[in-house]
């Protein structure tokens, strides 16, 4: 069971919501863009950083607590 005193589950939840929002906004911007651009969108970099943070926090959660 999730401990309410720990802030790690809340950080994981908030980060998941941010990641979903970033991915949805990237999908919308990709549909709107008619030309292909070889440069990386700053939102894409932020999305990858958020995903790496999410996996790192999840690994810490798994290593410190039993589900």
For position 10, what pLDDT does the model report? 86
In terms of residue numbers, what domain contains 66? 1-25+42-67
Q: Is 18 domain-assigned?
A: yes
| DSSP class per residue in 23-58 | HHHHHHHHHH--S---SPPHHHHHHHHHHHHHHHHH
- How many domains does one find in the chain? 1
Q: State pLDDT tens for residues 15-35.
A: 999 999 988 888 766 666 655
Q: State pLDDT tens for residues 31-50.
A: 666 555 556 678 888 889 99
Residue 19 three-state SS: helix
pTM of the full structure: 0.67
Q: Is 36 domain-assigned?
A: no
Q: Is 35 domain-assigned?
A: no
Tally Cβ neighbours within 10 Å of residue 18. 15
Q: Is 30 domain-assigned?
A: no
């Amino acid at each position: 069971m999730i401990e309410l005193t720990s802030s790690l589950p809340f950080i994981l939840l908030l980060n998941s919501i941010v990641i979903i929002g970033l991915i949805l906004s990237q999908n919308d911007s990709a549909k709107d863009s008619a030309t292909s651009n070889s440069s990386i969108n700053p939102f894409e970099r932020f999305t990858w950083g958020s995903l790496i943070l999410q996996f790192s926090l999840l690994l810490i959660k798994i290593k410190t607590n039993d589900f």
